[in-house]
Amino acid sequence: MERKDFETWLDNISVTFLSLTDLQKNETLDHLISLSGAVQLRHLSNNLETLLKRDFLKLLPLELSFYLLKWLDPQTLLTCCLVSKQWNKVISACTEVWQTACKNLGWQIDDSVQDALHWKRVYLKAILRMKQLEDHEAFETSSLIGHSARVYALYYKDGLLCTGSDDLSAKLWDVSTGQCVYGIQTHTCAAVKFDEQKLVTGSFDNTVACWEWSSGARTQHFRGHTGAVFSIDYNDELDILVSGSADFTVKVWALSAGTCLNTLTGHTEWVTKVVLQKCKVKSLLHSPGDYILLSADKYEIKIWPIGREINCKCLKTLSVSEDRSICLQPRLHFDGKYIVCSSALGLYQWDFASYDILRVIKTPEIANLALLGFGDVFALLFDNHYLYIMDLRTESLISHWPLPEYRKSKRGSSFLAGEASWLNGLDGHNDTGLVFATSMPDHSIHLVLWKEHG
């Protein structure tokens, strides 16, 4: 058939084909296929694949592709990455999808990172770490050996752990290497806190002392308590030291001069915790930037203004039971915005602006969990047998780690949390170093550390 005649015939048959019903069209195609040879069938197969199997991620504008991808869960997206190089490129560059997936896992997001492929890599790292937590494989243990008597006081800061012992010594350890950096002779230590130049100790001999690391010399001695000093805190900027004692009082001292500026009364039990912290919220009683003193005993948390006036009055007293039937655990968290303490009823969180209880987190499956650390995303808790991580968004325990038979202390100074930034959300870099430390009956220090990423 000539080309011109073929085109006329094709136009006529096309018009007739379009006028048919769907059923008639299908029958027509079936008949034509039955008359076709191998060449025609191969041609038909090649064209059908192009018409029916369209790559929508390749054809759609990138913004529409990203919109569609947001409806898929991360695991499905990872499977889709295996379809082709083009799909992997598009899906990996969908920043919002991977950032959301990381947030859902409790990961911190740094919006300043511009690398389009960065957040998929972060998610893969995050899912591995969370899997290790779920499988109880995220940590490892170590020990520090060097004291010859019970270790009663621990304090951790920037990779260094200070230990105070009944062997009349205090030691400063590099947690990463396990090496003792400093060792000085002291009195019996019930509480310790340090910086680069000095060590401050609270003692069972009813005094507080300040020591110089480099020489081991005692540079200041604070006398005035009539009972053991269980907790201390200080601030160089204010030139103030505070101490809590078994004599039911809190004392405020001039750090450099060693003189007592004030004695705060009102507690009816041993004062086991004092915290000196800058306030971050405004209320009728304080403003952001004001320094606040918190003191805690077995039943109450008291809030004091920091000043040099003699008749300093308590701003507020917090408790979890009016009749004192419920005891507070000897741990206290205060970040300038919230106060958190644990009891037999659960974790109590107070808003520091209003002093109202924001929430009570109960763990009915495990009673009497003690607080170690509290953040925006996670909390670190423990009991006599395990260390626990709680996801505060769901108030569920997501991981636990076995603990040895450590030395028990009603005051809570013989155990502590290590690095705390990860409690506000993991970021792939802050899950390193010390997680937990406690003193042991054999006078060693048991360490729980983050295991390196696989």
Question: pLDDT tens-digit profile of 272-298?
Answer: 999 999 999 988 778 898 899 999 999
Q: Which amino acid is at 211?
A: W
Does residue 162 lie in a domain region?
Answer: no
Q: Which amino acid is at 97?
A: V
Residues 163-187: tens digit of each pLDDT: 999 999 999 999 999 999 999 999 9
- Could you list the residue range(s) of the whole structural domain that residue 109 is in? 59-135
For the chain, how many structural domains are there in total? 1
Does residue 73 lie in a domain region?
Answer: yes
Tell me the mean pLDDT in the region 2-26: 88
pLDDT confidence tier of residue 309, bands split at 50, 70 and 90: low
Does residue 119 lie in a domain region?
Answer: yes
- Strand ranges inside 321-410, DSSP E: 333-334, 338-343, 346-351, 357-361, 370-374, 378-382, 386-391, 396-402
Among 52-61, 115-124, 201-210, 295-304, which stretch is predicted with the lowest mean pLDDT? Answer: 52-61
Q: Average pLDDT, whole number, for the chain?
A: 89
Residues 381-433: tens digit of each pLDDT: 998 889 999 999 999 999 999 998 876 665 555 889 999 999 999 988 899 99
Does residue 123 lie in a domain region?
Answer: yes
Does residue 16 lie in a domain region?
Answer: no
Report d(CA 187, CA 210) in Å as an integer.
11
Return the percentage of the chain with pLDDT > 90, whole number: 58
Residues 68-96: tens digit of each pLDDT: 888 989 899 999 899 888 889 889 988 88
Does residue 264 lie in a domain region?
Answer: no
Residue 73, domain CATH: 1.20.1280
Does residue 88 lie in a domain region?
Answer: yes
Does residue 126 lie in a domain region?
Answer: yes
Burial class (CB in 10 A: 0-12, 13-18, 19+), 198: middle
DSSP 8-state symbol, 192: E
pTM above 0.85, yes or no: no
Alpha-helical runs (H) found in 21-165: 22-35, 38-52, 56-59, 62-69, 74-80, 85-92, 95-104, 118-134
